[in-house]
Amino acid sequence: MKRIEAIKEKIEDLRDNIRYHERRYYIEDNPEISDYEYDRLLRELKELENSYPQFITPDSPTQRVGGEPAEKFQTVEHMIPMLSLDNAYSYDELIDFDTRVKKGLKGEEPEYIVELKIDGLGVALIYENGILVRGATRGDGIRGEDITQNMRTIMSIPLKIEINSPSLSYIEVRGEVFLTHQGFETINREREDRGEPLFANPRNAAAGSLRHLDPSITASRPLDIFLYNVSYVRDPIFKTHLESLQALNRLGFKTNLNTLFCRDLQEVMHYVEVWREKRDDLNYDVDGLVIKVNSLEHQKILGSTTKHPRWAIAYKYQAEQATTRIEDIIVQVGRTGSLTPVAILKPVKLAGSTIKRATLHNEDEIIRKDIWIGDTAIIEKGGDVIPKVVMVIKEKREGDEVQFKMPDRCPVCGASVFRPEGEVVARCTGSACPAQLKERLHHFASRTAMDIDHLGPAIIDQLVGKNLVKDVADIYSLDLATLTSLERMAEKSAQNLLNAIEKSKDAGFQRLLYAIGIRYVGERIAQIISHGYSSMDDLMEAKREELESIPEIGHRVAESTVVFFLQEENRRVLKKLKDAGVAMHKKREEKREDILKEKQFILTGTLERFTREEAKEIIERLGGLVTSSVTKKTDYVVVGRDPGSKYDKAKELGITIIDEDEFIKMTE
């Protein structure tokens, strides 16, 4: 075999191997190899594809995220309309459904399949000759949006399936894209860090992520999918819905395993009861069950109305609700000064717990729902989401209710409140606001920031309450005597806390940059900025244009960073941190000092983020060597824009070629 063919084969083997492990990990939740080994395989494939770009195909596991942000999505017509489901809210309605089905089948007994009704977004995927060629939203059922680029970023959607029969050469499958509770919380935490409005629930967050115009944003969100229907195949090869689900599974699609075969309605109803409570234990939202006639022949006989299939129905669980009085509406202050109104309720039992508060999101929401203090309200709790006010019962008003008004002064510090034009969130402008300070301290000490173990909310409350800490830098002047004077603080805990504080001084530039709480600078942005600057002093003097020239740093981040460093108060706190001995420069990862030991590098072409000199310095600091001509001994060739003949030479010799991003990853 020619060398080039052997390479092509190697690339294809690697891809199959990676696809296999992705399936074990993302679909079967049963990985066989470590993340590290998986990364190594993927890196090997990337390196080969970089050297032999002629072999890159769109279905390669390396090609999930690509394409420029779209201006808008194209509209696409569905091959077969995406109908919605008729709903049942009671057993009576289920019995009616069963009766209609039996009547339609002229007395033949139907079997049913019961599935969880996932609370996400319905989508359709088309595979042509085993390759994913289109992904679309449901839209109005007739036309949806072409979101192929975004769907490709969802790791549990295969880009390629193994088809074993010609009837599968063109296939459309449907399913529900959703976010787990954990995924939802992560996204909201990041949004909070950036001072952006939060998503109200996992479904909205999934919708916002799936329909984002920039596929790289979608890729950063942990979206997932369950497939529940084969909507089109050339020749129908399954006889029942259950068989089609099994086929989906064999083809490498993720299907929900809580699906049950039921011989009759009695069994269906039993299953409805089982899941009424059990659904709260799942880590994604389920708003009901879907009951489907199993036989495809029966489905055909029953047909559809213009809106719903007659062979399926959704049994919707009612979100548990309770009625109570809104005794007060208070305003909570977040780290960035955001003011969130919260309803204080007359305590009421709901879904097994006593509820005393409900979130009201923001002022506009209160106006929209016309919520007054003293109103009788219906509150609701779905899944494990925070209770919310569904509506108020205006008929129960007695005349002494009071309309809520967002205060124009911060309820905690008294500074003025500002709501920028076009934003829904009002903010406290006080730089010394104790509520903001507590949140800032909490963020500063958090695990992904300075990682100060033992500095929890109870201690922060006392430190701020007793005026012992007025800014984040004051943490570093705490001593044993002060700490042991706090409530519930024994000497041992105080010493542990002091040790943790001391240790955090070495957290390094990147963590500190995230910890000081610049608006819009979350963990990822801090990482990107820290590539370009070696210390806080460097960054403090950075001009806006300079920051904006870093890929991925936009106008908003650049602006808020520059503004942050212009503020006298922030400069003062940073100086205090520095004087206290907090490291203000990049961390030297001693352990990793020689990760490139004796590796020979060639640099060719123009690099975007380093000068040659800087790249050389990094390589040498890590124990590597930069040479000037490509030989068999060369280990890596780093290619920038417009590479020279060294690139061709390296390809010829089969030397690993990496681009700037990979170089950064390697040396991080």
Residues in contact with ligand IVH by CB under 6 A are 83-85, 115, 117-118, 122, 138, 176, 228-229, 290, 309, 312, 314
Query: Between 117 and 646, whose beta carbon lies closer to ligand IVH?
Result: 117
Kindly provide the residue ranges of all beta strands, DSSP E only, lying in 119-206, ordered along the sequence: 121-128, 131-137, 143-145, 170-178
CB contact set of 532 (below 8 Å; sequence gap of 6+): 550, 609
CA 238, 244, 250, 252 torsion: positive or negative? positive
Nearer to ligand IVH, 117 or 254 (CB): 117
Shortest distance (Å) from residue 176 CB to ligand IVH: 4
Half-sphere CA count of 271, side-chain side, radius 13 A: 22
| Closer by beta carbon to ligand IVH, 42 or else 207 | 207
Q: For residue 450, how far is the Cα from the chain centroid?
A: 23
Please state, in angstroms and rounded to a whole number, the distance separating the CA atoms of residues 146 and 540: 43
Nearer to ligand IVH, 98 or 115 (CB): 115
The CA radius of gyration of the chain, in Å to the nearest whole number, is 29
Tell me how far, at minimum, the Cβ of 286 lies from ligand IVH, in Å: 8
- Which is closer to ligand IVH, CB of 229 or CB of 240? 229
- Per DSSP, the three-state class of 210 is helix
Contact criterion met (CB below 8 Å) for 455 and 431: no
* Gap between the Cα atoms of 406 and 339, Å rounded: 9
Q: How far is the CB of 41 from ligand IVH (least distance, A)?
A: 33
- Other Cβ atoms less than 10 A from the Cβ of 53: the count is 10
C-alpha span between 587 and 568 (Å, rounded): 26
**Nearest approach, Cβ of 228 to ligand IVH (angstroms)?**
4
Between 118 and 154, name the residue whose CB sits nearer to ligand IVH: 118
The question of whether 117 is a catalytic residue gets the answer: yes
How many Å separate Cα 248 from the centre of its chain?
26
Name the nearest CA neighbour of 139 among 85, 82, 177.
82
The one catalytic residue among 10, 46, 117, 651: 117
Enumerate residues 6+ apart whose C-beta is below 8 A from 253. Answer: 27, 158, 161, 173, 175, 227
Taken in order 526, 50, 150, 556, the sign of the CA dihedral is positive
Nearer to ligand IVH, 310 or 356 (CB): 310
What is each CA distance from 85 to 96, 290, 310, in whole angstroms? 15, 8, 9
**Rounded Cα distance, 33 and 12, in Å:** 19
**Going by C-beta distance under 8 Å and a sequence separation of 6 or more, which residues neighbour residue 96?**
88
Nearer to ligand IVH, 115 or 380 (CB): 115
Cβ proximity to ligand IVH, 286 vs 602, nearer residue: 286
CA distance 211 to 203: 12
φ, ψ of residue 112 to 5 degrees: the values are -120, 150
Task: Let me know: does 656 contact 47? Beta carbons within 8 Å.
Answer: yes
Contact in structure between 22 and 160 (CB atoms under 8 Å): no
Nearer to ligand IVH, 125 or 379 (CB): 125
Q: Which is nearer to ligand IVH, 187 or 314 (CB)?
A: 314
Query: CA 647, CA 356: separation in Å to the nearest integer?
Result: 67
* Residue whose CB is less far from ligand IVH, 138 or 279: 138
User: Which DSSP category does 663 fall into?
Assistant: H
SS3 per residue for 177-188? EECCHHHHHHHH
Could you tell me how many helices (H) and strands (E) the chain has, helices first? 24, 24
Instruction: Identify the DSSP state of 16.
Output: H
Q: Which residue is nearest to ligand IVH (CB)?
A: 122
Would you give the DSSP letter of residue 15?
H
* Residue-wise burial string across 28-37, b where 16 or more C-beta atoms lie within 10 A, e elsewhere: eeeeeeeeee
The tokens of 217 are what?
């944003």
Distance CA 456, CA 155 (A): 36
Cα angle vertex 90, ends 88, 93, to 5°?
A: 55
DSSP 110: P
- Minimum distance, C-beta of residue 271 to ligand IVH, in the bound complex (Å): 13
Q: Is the distance from CB of 41 to CB of 111 less than 8 angstroms?
A: no
Residues with a catalytic annotation lie at 117
